[in-house]
């Protein structure tokens, strides 16, 4: 029996299961629904590679029978409206709607006990599957080694300790061959994993766009550092002479796919200031309480803090002409940022995010400049800013990047709405 014939017959026998080609459309549809409703969605994948020997006809037929029974057990114990997908003959998956990572783990425990019960009685398998993987969208926070890290989107592999379910409980390795760090959670071993389904949640911009853009980022950041070196030395000296404190302001920001990094700017504030003013402002901005933070008029709104007492006189000047952003060329050079992309948020900002807001940091690296900086800046609401970021995600190309860079230089001389 050929594997393609094998797959076709299984899908005919189980018409409520989808073929793998349907997964991309299903994931995009459910992600958009999750964005609108604010409810999470999780994807659970079962891996059977250890049970399968495609060279052995008898083994293949036995696996066909096993997989058919497996699909039946999963179908009976899954809600009717939740998509079930068969990948070739070595993987099967279930998309759990309105289900968080925690609830997905509970589902895995439940389905594992059912599978063990069924196959233990039939004495048909030494182990049922090799791995169980789960992906959640979005995940607000993830407890990792006792430290709460911001992880809006995180792929992880769950090795369950049920006796008889899995062949082994040994440490797994990522695609790069680096062992995963594990933490105990609800009796399971949880580990980060580069599951390929990750790329299906997000948009792509062509095979050659990311590596070429990275080369451009490196060259442009080196040029930027060399060209602006005299200006940066002067600014550093002025900051040192005008107020106490370090020249460079370092702040933890949320980068690509939730990874935290140290964000660099020239210091524009007095030292030992309180960030409660900015926290309150940002939460109101994200929550859409625009009338409370509009420092302009209804015709010409301005969503930024006016007369912020934390900013030094020199800081006002640097911000007006975006000169405080120059050290970010070093962030670009190290690969934490790109020249063009969404602005990286502060961790406390994403506490107020809606589901669809996360996509601005899930799909591209943060950047020094972007569509929001050249078309909106502080005159747009937060939702409008995110829509501009997502418009860039969906339309990004070298020609669009060049247009944004050109408009960035012209915007430097238009200080209206500058932060």
Domain that holds residue 335: 209-411
Give the pLDDT of residue 413.
62
The encoded tokens of residue 106 equal 């509970």
Contact (Cβ atoms closer than 8 angstroms) between residue 290 and residue 302: no
Give the pLDDT of residue 183.
31
Residue 260 forms part of a structural domain: yes
Burial of 227 (0-12, 13-18, 19+ CB in 10 A): exposed
Domain-terminating residue out of 158, 175, 201? 201
Residue 419 forms part of a structural domain: no
Give the pLDDT of residue 294.
67
Tell me, yes or no, whether 98 and 189 share the same domain: yes
Report the number of secondary-structure helices (H) and strands (E) in the chain.
14, 14
Tell me, yes or no, whether 192 and 219 share the same domain: no
Give the pLDDT of residue 166.
55
| CA–CA gap between residue 203 and residue 209 (Å, rounded) | 13
Tell me, yes or no, whether 22 and 150 share the same domain: yes
Tell me, yes or no, whether 218 and 365 share the same domain: yes
Tell me, yes or no, whether 213 and 197 share the same domain: no
Domain-terminating residue out of 169, 201, 233? 201
Tell me, yes or no, whether 144 and 226 share the same domain: no
Structural domains of the chain, count: 2
Q: How far is CA 335 from CA 84, 145, 212, 238, 368, in A?
A: 38, 25, 13, 29, 12
The encoded tokens of residue 257 equal 């796919």
Residue 140 forms part of a structural domain: yes
Tell me, yes or no, whether 195 and 225 share the same domain: no
Residue 226 forms part of a structural domain: yes
Tell me, yes or no, whether 242 and 366 share the same domain: yes
pLDDT per residue, tens digit, the chain (419 aa), is 567 787 888 889 999 999 888 887 888 888 888 888 888 888 888 887 655 555 566 777 778 888 898 999 999 999 999 999 987 778 889 999 998 877 888 888 888 888 888 877 665 555 677 778 777 777 544 433 334 444 443 334 444 444 455 554 443 333 322 223 333 333 333 333 333 444 555 555 677 888 999 999 999 999 999 999 999 999 999 999 999 999 999 999 988 877 889 999 999 999 988 888 888 888 888 888 877 766 666 666 666 776 788 999 999 999 988 899 999 999 999 999 999 999 999 988 887 888 788 888 877 899 999 988 887 666 778 888 899 998 898 888 999 999 999 888 876 666 554 44
- For residue 182, give the 3-state DSSP assignment: strand
Tell me, yes or no, whether 266 and 172 share the same domain: no
Residue 418 forms part of a structural domain: no
Q: For 283-345, give the DSSP string.
A: HHHHTT-HHHH--S-SSS---S-SS-TTB-HHHHHHHHTTGGGTTHHHHHHTTS-EEESPPPP
Tell me, yes or no, whether 137 and 187 share the same domain: yes
Tell me, yes or no, whether 349 and 392 share the same domain: yes
Q: What is the CATH number of the domain that holds 177?
A: 3.30.70.270
The residues with which 260 forms a beta bridge, in sequence order, are 254
Domain-terminating residue out of 201, 220, 249? 201
Residue 257 forms part of a structural domain: yes
């Amino acid at each position: 029996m050929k594997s393609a014939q094998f797959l076709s017959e299984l899908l005919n026998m189980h018409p409520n299961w989808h073929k793998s080609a349907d997964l991309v459309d299903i994931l995009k549809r459910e992600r958009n629904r999750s964005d609108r409703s604010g409810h999470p969605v999780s994807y659970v994948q079962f891996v059977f590679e250890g049970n399968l020997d495609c060279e052995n006809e008898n083994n293949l037929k036995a696996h066909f029978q096993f997989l058919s029974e497996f699909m039946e057990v999963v179908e009976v114990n899954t809600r009717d409206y939740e998509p079930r997908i068969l990948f070739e003959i070595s993987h099967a998956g279930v998309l759990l709607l309105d289900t968080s990572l925690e609830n997905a783990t509970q589902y895995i425990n439940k389905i594992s006990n059912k599978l063990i019960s069924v196959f233990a009685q039939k004495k048909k398998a030494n182990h049922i599957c090799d791995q169980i993987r789960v992906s959640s969208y979005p995940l607000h926070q993830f407890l990792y080694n006792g430290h709460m890290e911001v992880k809006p989107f995180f792929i992880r592999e769950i090795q369950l300790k049920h006796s008889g379910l899995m062949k082994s409980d040994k440490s797994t390795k990522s695609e790069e061959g680096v062992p995963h760090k594990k933490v105990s959670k609800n009796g399971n071993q949880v580990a980060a994993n580069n599951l390929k389904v990750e790329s299906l949640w997000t948009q792509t911009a062509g095979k050659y766009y990311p590596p070429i853009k990275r080369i451009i980022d490196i060259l442009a950041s080196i040029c930027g550092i060399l060209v602006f070196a005299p200006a940066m030395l002067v600014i550093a000296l002025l900051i040192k002479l005008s107020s106490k404190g370090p020249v460079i302001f370092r702040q933890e920001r949320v980068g690509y796919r939730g990874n935290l990094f140290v964000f660099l700017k020239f210091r524009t504030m007095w030292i030992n200031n309180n960030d409660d003013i900015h926290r309150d402002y940002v939460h109101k901005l994200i929550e859409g309480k625009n009338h409370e933070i509009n420092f302009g008029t209804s015709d010409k709104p301005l969503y930024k803090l006016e007369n912020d007492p934390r900013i030094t006189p020199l800081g006002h000047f640097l911000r007006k002409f975006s000169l405080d952003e120059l050290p970010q060329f070093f962030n670009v050079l190290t690969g934490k940022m790109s020249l063009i992309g969404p602005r990286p948020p502060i961790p406390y900002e994403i506490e107020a995010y809606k589901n669809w807001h996360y996509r601005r940091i899930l799909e591209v690296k943060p950047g020094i400049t972007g569509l929001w900086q050249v078309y909106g800046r502080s005159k747009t609401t937060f939702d409008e800013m995110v829509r501009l970021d997502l418009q860039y995600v969906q339309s990004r190309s070298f020609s669009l990047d060049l247009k944004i860079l050109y408009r960035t230089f012209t915007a430097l001389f238009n200080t209206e709405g500058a932060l």
